[in-house]
A and B are shown apart, each in its own frame.
Chain A
Amino acid sequence: MSEIKQERVGVYVCHCGSNIAGVVDVVDVANWAAEKLKHQGVVIAREYKFMCSSLGQELIEKDIKELGLTRVVVAACSPHLHEKTFRTAAKNAGLNPYLVELASIREQVSWVHTDKAVATEKSKAVVSGAVSRVIENVPLEELKVPINPNTLVVGGGIAGIQAALEIANAGFHVYLVEREPSIGGHMAQFDKTFPTLDCSACILTPRMVEAGTHPNITLLTWSEVEKVTGFVGNFNVTIRKKARCVKEELCTGCGICEEKCPKKVIDDVFEAGLGYRKAVYTPFAQAVPKYPVIDKANCTYFLKGTCKACEKFCPTGAIDFNQQDELVNVEVGNIILATGYDLFDARRVSNYGYGRLPNVFTSLEFERLSNAAGPTNGNIVLRDGKTTPKSVGIIHCVGSRDKNFNNYCSVICCMQGLKFAHLVHERTGATVYNFYIDMRTAYKAYDEFYQRVLEEGTLFVRGKVAEVTDAGRNEREKGKLIIQVEDTLAGKQRRIPVDMVILSSGLQPRADAKEVGKLFGISCSTDGWFTEKHPKLDPVATMTEGIYIAGCAQGPKDIPSSVAQGAAASARVLDKILQKEVALEPVRASVDQEMCSGCRICNGLCPFNAISFLEDRMVTEINPALCQGCGTCVAACPAGAISGTGFSNEQILAQIDGLLLRNIEPVEA
């Protein structure tokens, strides 16, 4: 048997209320550890209701001081939740924080198993593994690296703008990267915003201008992030600034080029397909920045080699057809992703007829239709561009709360449907029907808005619409769109003929959310939204340090919540910047050059180029500043010359033995 180490180990088994104690016999586990793992050095094993509470932590601190513990094992929840808590407790009591191990008996035992006896036995094994491992732990020092005070914000919707402004106002530099020619995001497309009905442009434009002119903000529109390397505090980001074909330093934003450009293009992005733009364009009048872009895919000059009308008429000679994409390299310490959402594609619900029946509109189309600056100057009319509807049906939850499409509630669609009802009523006097499954008007002043729309005379039908059709059965239905629905309150089927249908489509993750997540090293939930570090207590951080999320990129939400998250993410970043240094996990590989045979097997294995070969001495060296601690080279070295702190061979082998209960003292016969 291996030699007996002289460590003094304390074991703490948490009840987690009934979360653990309801399934695992925690008293039995603690008693077992005290008895069976005594020879390993366990001097005390306790159980307690909530180890992470201050009383629980004090228990550990007291034992470290009074019993002279040199190692601590806490059997509780996942280390991803409370490893830091217990490490800090150890540190407070004067013990090196890396001499603490967590045994996950909640996520890995009590929450996933039901048989009490089996769960208790497994808990013992997990505790035993942690005890064996912790004995092999060595004291480590955190690696401190300086934090670059610059921040990258990706996405210039309201969430990204808010985040950028907060940081810039605090005196630090921000690079705000936006894929479209202008910042503003979805909010720039709306006419009015619920529940207050203030004009979207009136509240958004000042923010956009502030972001565009702020001395601490470098605005990079018509740009996308291409590559990210490094880690919290020191990211290196490559941004592709697409060729605008307009020299920003000369352009005054007069708009003559746009006026003179002969090429009209359907605007699928800003006008949601309802209006036109030119081949050289700014998406809307208040665009920030004011410089237009030439859309090469549609420009006559790029397609046919002649035209250049814009160049001819530009009074400052700002047009430059030879401009090339530019790769900009920036160094930042933290990154906020605020890339927003895509609208659910209503074509997928084929029985609602969008794309087939001309007078079925999506929510974004209606926003443009009702917008005073939109293609109809705010006149709510049918697809023919002139007829005012006399009756309008608004269908809620399109693509949301439906297992054929998205399971989740898109949060804003009920309120959006009510907003539309109000606008239609106010501007056309039409009869308005809202078809809803449940009316969800939580949050401040939302239900009051619902009451207001009720009082205005909008008709509400509770039921999921089965079909929208133009196949009328009688005079009343002829030439109309008929909404077929089961009215679940009245308990009957209804067919309601209307002139116009608006689909309150849900929100969904950006089509490229997964690739963008991968680029920045963060994950998406099953639904596809970026995953936050903790759904309640850490909604804007991610599992990757230094990367934060805000707005609809994290999940469906309204403007107030998007703004709040933008501000919250910036507060987290400012907190990091002001600390000036960031502590990194001291998980690093190093080569014992006495043992290195110079075989160079490890040399090609490191994706971070941390490994180099010293030709003169014929040995390998690892640069700790570049090593990220994956351990691949450690596992590969045939000479056993590379060791990995925090995850050493000794630790892992001991844990294997412990988990298999090979460390239990043989019971005397």
Chain B
Amino acid sequence: MTENFEPTIIGFTCNWCSYRAADLAGTARMKYAPNVRLIRMMCSGRLDPTFVLRALSGGADGVMITGCHPGECHYIEQNYKALRRYLLLKRVLKGMGIEPERVKLVWASAAEGAKFASETTLFVEEIRKLGPLNWGKPTERLDDLQEEISKTEEVPA
């Protein structure tokens, strides 16, 4: 069954690097797996972990978070904050009994269209192996989680 399974993946991209990497992959006509649907944010720092939970609870089988390389964030260092949240989020997912590998963080600069394409295809294959997520009763669990996440404090920079 997992053989023919086509995962649905939500990708969060930052306006300055990874979204432009996706643009570049397009301009260069690089081919990659069609399973990812992108959302543009200004910075990976904008990523609220509840977005990821909303995506997973709403039918996505995986979530890809992309941003500028460490040290290259347009807003100086906000991708480090994204990194911290990502690590925290993985712990929470694990606690919820969801494979943490369903969420992946990828750094891609505006010049790395090829990396964006290959990482996307790779991630789709990884999720295909994990199989469908089938997160039941989405809304209730989401509320619980939202509360849990809001209790965890941000570590200051």
Contacts and interface: CB of A to CB of B under 8 A. Distances in A.
Interface of A: 78-80, 104, 106-109, 111-115, 118-119, 122, 125-126, 129, 518, 521, 523-526, 531, 543, 587, 601-605, 607-608, 628-632, 634-636, 638, 644, 646-647, 649, 652-653, 655-657, 659-662
B29 A630 contact: no
5 contacts: A113-B34, A129-B37, A129-B39, A631-B46, A660-B10
Contact of A635 (B10, B58, B85): B85
B5 to A, nearest CB: 14
Interface in B68-101: 71-72, 74-78, 81-82, 85
B38 to A, nearest CB: 6
B46 A634 contact: yes
Interface string B94-110: 00000000000000011
B119 interface: no
Contact of B39 (A630, A632, A656): A656
A123 B46 CA distance: 25
B4 interface: no
A653 B54 CA distance: 7
Contacts of B72: 518
Contact of B75 (A524, A602, A632, A657): A632
A80 B10 contact: no
A604 B82 CA distance: 14
B46 A656 contact: no
B46 A655 contact: no
Interface in B101-157: 109-111, 117, 150-151, 153-154, 156-157
B64 interface: no
B27 A111 contact: yes
A632 B55 contact: no
Contacts of A649: 48
Contacts of B82: 632
A660 B59 contact: yes
B37 A122 contact: yes
B18 interface: no
B29 A660 contact: no
Interface in B9-36: 10, 16-17, 19-20, 22-23, 25-27, 29-32, 34
Contact of A630 (B38, B42, B60, B111): B42
B109 A78 contact: no
A632 B51 contact: no
Contacts of B19: 80
Nearest to A599: B153
Contacts of A518: 71-72
A517 B40 CA distance: 23
Contacts of B55: 656, 660
